[in-house]
Structure 1
Amino acid sequence: MSSERPYPESVILLPVHRPSVHLDELITGLLTDGADAGRIVVVDDGSGPQARPILSAARSRGCAVLHHPANRGKGIALKTGFRYAQQHHPGLNVISADADGQHSPADIRRVASRAAPGRIVLGVRRFELMPPRSRFGNTVTRSLFRAATGRSVSDTQTGLRGYPAESLDHLCGIEGERFEYEMNVLLDAAACGRPIEEVAIETTYLNGNAASNFSSVTDSWQVYGPLLRFTLASLPARA
């Protein structure tokens, strides 16, 4: 292995709800790949007692494990992780990833290597390899995002993202508690003219993405709602 750090200047943030063995597998892979255990932050979003053994294992390996007593949503979990990174690892970028088997250490390393001040980095998947439900949802949101902002993003729903250290305060102030938060972050970047860079990653779905906590009806509306509100709010300016 090269003497160069494989995850330069980065905190790896893993928001989880009812995590499975995939969390332990990902942490094992990250540590084997050279990640610093002290820079891996797991945010447990109200998983309950059944998750204690898996979360205790992560803590015993040196990872930081933060808890929400009740489920508050992915957006809140990300903000909890951002604030922890600011306090305990100031000046480091944050790489958020899903711990449901979709993202590998190699994927996370690719995004971490491209993280830089002033830009968000997205790990984007290949559409033709997605399950039909995920492919349809991403096609719709990608089209709506382009119509609303005039900017193209290949994978609006990816959970693998790189956030620059200097933007964490701003990111904590963006509205959104659940899955809509990640869309609001992209809309904010588009509105402010901030760069959104894309990095190709592997397209991995286990059992048709059965481990995902995304609800097709409720959470889809949470994603589409911000897009529609952004479009309506911009209509006077475009007129």
Structure 2
Amino acid sequence: MTQTVVVLPVYQPGERLVELVSDLRTSTAHMPVVVVDDGSGTDSAHLLRRVRDLGCTLRRLDRHRGKGSALKEGYQYVLRAHPEKDVVCADADGQHRASDILRLAERVRDTRSIVLGVRRFDGDVPLRSRVGNTITRALFKATTGVTASDTQTGLRAYPHELVRWLLTIPGERFDYEMAVLVAAARNRCPIEQVTIPTRYLDGNASSHFGTLIDSVRTYRPLLMPAELPLRNSPCPNNH
């Protein structure tokens, strides 16, 4: 499992970041962890020092640029420091556990495909999350012809052969993750799905997703897919 790096983009994180990093660092997998601070400011400095002291790598953006920018900073670091390692990206707000991350790391190692940690959306799910996923899932299917049960998941794994390609996908904020999925589907990259528990803590109060502006950005790759790069066989097992 040491062939995997975990990238955690964070903005104004809470204690759950420390809990997740601690669980990952004490797991049997011993995976390197890269925390990318998206310009959180001084209020989060003590938490970021704590995760750095736990042995993870801390990268910082000079100001709040968006989740896409934070992910790209993480990918650039992985290319320099761990060029032959697969990548698992996760949210650090309590939705994703170390056990979820380990499962995706195993699946990407075995399949060499993009792997999504998909939620069942059962139980006590906030209405905007349930409705939002239903709409984007339908648009994604209509745009790409590919079925993905959770297009908005932040838990994703990529084989190391794709990391450089990820940096070519446009998008700086929440639109970036949707753009990656649309570009992958256009390039006929195999997409695997692993079911994970659905966890929303405190009504998803820790989410920084803005209802209107971020929704518009997210839908842009679905409505204008031709803007995304189309390259032959960027995926290692694409035939």
Q: Do these two structures clear the TM 0.5 threshold for a shared fold by scoring above it? A: yes
Query: Letter of the aligned partner of 1:18 in structure 2?
Result: Q
Q: Determine the structure 1 residue equivalent to 2:137.
A: 142
Query: Letter of the aligned partner of 1:160 in structure 2?
Result: L
Give secondary structure in 1 for the equivalent of 2:115.
strand
1:22 aligns with 2:12: no
Give the distance between the partners of 2:227 and 2:86, measured in 1 at CA. 33
1:125 aligns with 2:119: yes
Identity %: 50
Q: Determine the structure 1 residue equivalent to 2:75.
A: 82
Write out aligned runs for 1:154-173 (5 A): 154-173=149-168
Q: How far has the Cα of 1:194 moved from its partner?
A: 0.5
| TM-score, scaled to structure 2 | 0.91
| Unaligned stretches of 5+ residues in structure 2 | 229-239
| Deviations, residues 124-166 of structure 1 (Å, cap 9, x unaligned) | 0012233211010000000000011111000000000001101
Q: How far has the Cα of 1:30 moved from its partner?
A: 1.3
Cα RMSD (Å): 1.6
1:13 aligns with 2:7: yes
Aligned residues: 226
Q: Determine the structure 1 residue equivalent to 2:108.
A: 115
Q: Determine the structure 1 residue equivalent to 2:235.
A: none
Q: Determine if contact 1:23/1:99 at 8 Å carries over to the other structure.
A: yes
Q: Determine the structure 2 residue equivalent to 1:196.
A: 191
Query: Letter of the aligned partner of 1:69 in structure 2?
Result: D
Specify which of 32, 38, 47 is matched with residue 40 of structure 2: 47
Q: How far has the Cα of 1:35 moved from its partner?
A: 4.2
Q: Determine if contact 1:121/1:196 at 8 Å carries over to the other structure.
A: yes
Give the distance between the partners of 1:156 and 1:118, measured in 2 at CA. 19
Q: Determine if contact 1:11/1:92 at 8 Å carries over to the other structure.
A: yes
Specify which of 92, 97, 100 is matched with residue 104 of structure 1: 97
| Unaligned stretches of 5+ residues in structure 1 | 1-6, 234-239
Change (3 A) 1:168 1:154: same
